[in-house]
């Protein structure tokens, strides 16, 4: 009898760039957009290590490119297979097809319900869902190519402008924090011209950036396993250039040249325990009410008085990124490969 199997579905950067080029995106913008899939590029370098970690636990490991998933999944045994999808997306990316295909073929999955794979990429809609749950999400306006679809609220501290479907933290350019709404509309024109996307315009919130990471090593793992850390990157927010320098081919080149600079992580609980507790309550609320489970990350801004702002939830966190690796080491005392294999084995074998 065949061994139980972990099936990992991933969308390669190159396939995304090719598709964007056929849709008429300029080369630079196609590169920037596809860079959000850099975790697929980075993790592919560790497939052998993941296979070895799975084998040590009695599992087979089968990485499957997204475009091959529709042909591959029907051949998997629902009683001896589990599917882990590495990326989300309904706009530039198509990862949300992974859990949907698994459900179509009766296969269990690691990760959130497939409906959340579509919701989390649309930041305006996800914010509209989170607000009725009484979560501390900044209110948002929405603009498209210089026209307000929803006007943002007033803000004495100015506003933060970001693409609606490319990432909730990234402001693309250094001037993405702006002091007047005319500038916000100008940024929306630039985003629409480059990326064909709307922009979310939110009141700027003070504080430091926080990443909360979660991996449910067992099905019973709860919010106590959440890792909550300040991310010290040297800047107030991440731009596209900052993101490109950390991951994928650009990040690998920076490492080879000795110019790679990884942000520093420090425990929130060590200096602001009340904020840490608030973040854990928010995570528990999201797990209970929204259906986050198994693996996810949350991004926050935390002020000195412990005020917490929820910026985004991510159901496909960057597994090979510095922060999630650090979480696996600190919380589970495992490498990324072993943590992934252990999670799959606990679902399939125990």
The 3 state secondary structure assigned to the chain is CCCCEEEEEECCHHHHHHHHHHCCCCHHHHHHHHHHHHHHHHHHCCHHHHHHHHHCCCCEEEEEEHHHHHHHHHHCCCCCEEEEECCCCCCCCCCCHHHHHHHHCCCCEECCCHHHHHHCCCHHHHHHHHHHHCCCCCCCEEEECCEEEECCCCCCCCEEEEECCCCCCCCCCHHHEECCHHHHHHHHHHHHHHHCCCEEEEECCCCEEEEEEEECCCCCCCHHHCEEEEEECCCCCCCHHHHHCCCHHHHHHHHHHCCCCCCEEEEHHHHCHHHHHHHHHHHHHHHHHHCCCCEEEEEEEECCCCCEEEEEEECCCCCCCHHHHHHHHHHHCCCHHHHHHHHHHHHHHC
> How far, in Å, CA of 274 to CA of 344, rounded?
33
Does 329 fall in a domain?
Answer: no
Which one has a higher pLDDT value, 257 or 192? Answer: 192
Which one has a higher pLDDT value, 255 or 151? Answer: 151
CA 65 to chain centre: 19
Give per-residue pLDDT as tens, 129-154: 999 999 999 999 999 999 999 999 99
Does 61 fall in a domain?
Answer: yes
Does 38 fall in a domain?
Answer: yes
> How far, in Å, CA of 130 to CA of 259, rounded?
39
**Domain limit, last residue, from 175, 203, 231:** 203
Q: Say how many domains are in the chain.
A: 2
> How far, in Å, CA of 190 to CA of 196, rounded?
9
**Domain limit, last residue, from 153, 179, 203:** 203
The answer on 100 and 38 residing in a single domain is yes
Q: Where does the pLDDT of residue 253 fall: very low under 50, low under 70, confident under 90, or very high at 90 and above?
A: low
**Per-residue burial over 61-71, b = 16 or more CB atoms within 10 Å of its CB, e = otherwise:** bbbbebeebee
* Whole-number pLDDT of residue 166: 80
Answer left, alpha or beta for residue 8, where phi above 0 means left and psi between -120 and 50 means alpha. beta
**Domain limit, last residue, from 203, 222, 238:** 203
Does 21 fall in a domain?
Answer: yes
Does 315 fall in a domain?
Answer: no
* Whole-number pLDDT of residue 1: 66
The answer on 106 and 42 residing in a single domain is yes
pTM of the predicted model as reported, rounded to 2 decimal places? 0.91
Helix orientation angle between 336-349 and 47-55, rounded to the nearest 10 degrees: 40
Give per-residue pLDDT as tens, 169-218: 556 788 889 999 999 999 999 999 999 999 999 999 999 999 999 999 99
- CATH number of the CATH domain containing 78: 3.40.50
The answer on 167 and 105 residing in a single domain is no
The least confident of 84-93, 155-164, 199-208, 287-296 is 84-93
Does 275 fall in a domain?
Answer: no
Does 293 fall in a domain?
Answer: no
Tokens of 207: 């504080």
Residue 243 and residue 170 in contact, taking contact as beta carbons nearer than 8 Å = yes
Per-residue pLDDT for 77 more than 60? yes
Does 305 fall in a domain?
Answer: no
Per-residue pLDDT for 241 more than 90? no
The answer on 78 and 155 residing in a single domain is no
Domain that holds residue 181: 139-203
Give per-residue pLDDT as tens, 270-299: 999 999 999 999 999 999 999 999 999 999
The answer on 152 and 104 residing in a single domain is no
* Whole-number pLDDT of residue 344: 97
Q: Percent of the chain having pLDDT more than 70?
A: 90
């Amino acid at each position: 009898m065949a061994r139980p199997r972990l099936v990992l579905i991933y969308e390669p950067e190159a396939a995304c760039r090719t598709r964007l080029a056929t849709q008429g995106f300029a080369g630079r913008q196609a590169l920037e957009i596809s860079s959000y899939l850099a975790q697929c590029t980075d993790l592919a370098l560790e497939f052998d290590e993941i296979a070895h970690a799975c084998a040590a636990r009695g599992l087979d490991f089968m990485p499957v490119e997204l475009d091959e998933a529709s042909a591959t999944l029907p051949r998997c045994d629902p009683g001896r297979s589990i599917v882990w999808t590495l990326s989300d997306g309904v706009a530039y990316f198509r990862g949300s097809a992974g859990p949907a295909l698994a459900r179509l073929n009766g296969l269990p999955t690691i990760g959130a319900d497939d409906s959340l794979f579509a919701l989390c990429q649309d930041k305006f809609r996800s914010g509209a869902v989170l607000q009725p749950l009484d979560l501390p999400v900044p209110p948002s306006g929405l603009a498209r190519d210089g026209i307000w679809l929803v006007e943002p609220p007033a803000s004495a501290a100015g506003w933060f402008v970001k693409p609606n479907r490319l990432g909730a933290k990234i402001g693309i350019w250094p001037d993405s924090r702006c002091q007047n709404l005319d500038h916000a509309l100008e940024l929306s024109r630039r985003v629409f011209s480059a990326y064909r996307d709307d922009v979310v315009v939110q009141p700027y919130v003070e504080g430091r950036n926080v990443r909360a990471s979660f991996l449910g090593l067992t099905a019973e793992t709860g919010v106590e396993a959440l890792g909550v850390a300040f991310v010290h990157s040297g800047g107030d927010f991440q731009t596209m250039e900052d993101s490109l320098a950390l991951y994928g081919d650009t990040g690998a080149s920076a490492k080879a040249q000795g110019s790679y600079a990884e942000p520093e992580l420090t425990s929130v609980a060590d200096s602001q325990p009340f904020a840490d507790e608030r973040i854990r309550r928010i995570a528990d609320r999201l797990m209970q009410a929204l259906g986050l489970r198994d693996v996810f990350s949350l991004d926050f801004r935390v002020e000195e008085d412990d005020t917490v702002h929820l910026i985004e939830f991510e159901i496909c966190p960057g597994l090979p990124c510095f922060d999630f690796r650090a979480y696996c080491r600190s919380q589970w005392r495992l490498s990324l490969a072993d943590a992934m294999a252990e999670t799959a084995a606990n679902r399939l074998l125990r």
